[in-house]
Amino acid sequence: MSWLERLKSGLSRTSRQLGQGIGDLVTKSRLDEVALGGIEELLIGADLGAKTAYRLTESLSKARFEQGASSEAVRLHLASDIAKLLEPVAKPLSLDPGLKPQVVLVVGVNGTGKTTTIGKLATIERDKGRKVLLAAGDTFRAAAVEQLKVWGTRANCPVIARETGADAAGLAFDAVTQAKADGADILFIDTAGRLHNKADLMEELKKVVRVLKKQDASLPHATLLVLDATTGQNALNQVETFKSMVDVTGLILTKLDGTAKGGVLVALAEKFNLPVHAIGVGEQADDLQPFEAMSFARGLVGLG
Ligand SMILES: Nc1nc2c(ncn2[C@@H]2O[C@H](COP(=O)(O)OP(=O)(O)OP(=O)(O)O)[C@@H](O)[C@H]2O)c(=O)[nH]1
Ligand SMILES: [Mg+2]
């Protein structure tokens, strides 16, 4: 399957709901109040957020559809408006090849896909010929370390790990030392999504960052927040929480294949204006795709 086909099939739950819904509403050649109201509701249902849904519907009501307001024409108009909203945040993860090692910290609540995303990113970077090191900073759960090691074996890159319960910040510090010694291009640091309680989690993350800065004040070079699209609007709260703890430099949205609420990405873009580097549309390494505004917007409304 090509990249676009994977994206389309990954977004199919959202696009089926939006695309078919629009098709059912747009039955006349002009958009009436009922159709516009219905489209607004569909957009809210796909989690684009009430404000954005309203603005998109307003734009539709002002549009002059030369060939009549067919479902296709309405979806094209929406896709183009949505792409405009997304363009400012569609930024690939840019790792400076001149800076070695690039240290990338990956954070997020439990189960959002941090470890899997690191595995995918490691595979992508290895395929480009980069030397990658992984640090199993989720020292809270033994299974988390094993999971990262499986990805490390698959991507053919070493994994630094410690026994369960070890100090995550100390591990991160040593991982940087090793990455430097090995001449690694990139170091990805996994973190725990769950500890005894939220306060512990916050403290641990802050400590990891503090200790990394002892190696070099510019570390980490990137802090990626991984969000699970199936949590819908709750993802917005997670951004607030993590932003208050660490300097989040970009977002990765996972599990877009498992939800009809893919529009949450639009709500996130509108609210936080943080770069969205990549999206996950499945569990395999090639299911992580660079985030591209127009193809995502078209995929969302079910246009090929
Ligand atoms: N369908 C789908 N599943 C995904 C995607 N990304 C991750 N997953 C799955 O989500 C589950 C949780 O992923 P993990 O990578 O373990 O999540 P985590 O954030 O590391 O979780 P904790 O370590 O518990 O904090 C796994 O079963 C993954 O295979 C995605 O884009 N699509
Ligand atoms: Mg994990």
pTM to 2 decimal places: 0.95
Ranges of each domain in the chain = 3-89, 102-291
* Sequence-distant (≥ 6) Cβ neighbours of residue 275 within 8 angstroms: 89, 90, 91, 249, 250, 251
Q: Is 232 exposed, middle or buried (0-12, 13-18, 19+ CB in 10 A)?
A: middle
Residue of 9, 283, 288, 296 best suited for mutating to test ligand 1, as the one with most atoms within 8 Å of CB? 283
**Which ligand 1 atom minimizes the distance to the CA of 288?**
31
Ion ligand 2 — residues with CB under 5 Å? 114-115, 144
Tell me the C-alpha to C-alpha distance, in Å, between residue 102 and each of 34, 117, 189. Answer: 53, 17, 11
Q: What's the 149 CA to ligand 2 centre distance in angstroms?
A: 11
Q: Which atom of ligand 1 is nearest to the CA of 193?
A: 25
Decide: helix, strand or coil at residue 30: coil
SS3 at position 164: coil
Question: Which of 1.20.120.1750, 3.40.50.1820, 3.40.630.40, 3.40.50.300 would CATH assign to domain 102-291?
Answer: 3.40.50.300
φ, ψ dihedrals at 291, nearest 5° = -85, 125
Assess whether the C-beta atom of 253 lies below 6 angstroms from ligand 1: no
Homologous superfamily of 3-89 in CATH? SRP54, nucleotide-binding domain (1.20.120.140)
Tens place of pLDDT per residue across the chain (304 aa):
787 888 888 899 999 999 889 999 998 778 899 999 999 999 999 999 999 999 999 999 999 887 888 999 999 999 999 999 999 999 999 888 788 999 999 999 999 999 999 999 999 999 999 999 999 999 888 899 999 999 999 999 999 999 988 999 999 999 999 999 999 999 999 999 876 677 888 899 999 999 999 999 999 999 999 999 999 889 999 999 999 999 999 999 999 998 989 999 999 999 999 999 999 999 998 899 999 999 999 999 999 7
Return the ligand 1 atom nearest residue 120 CA: 6
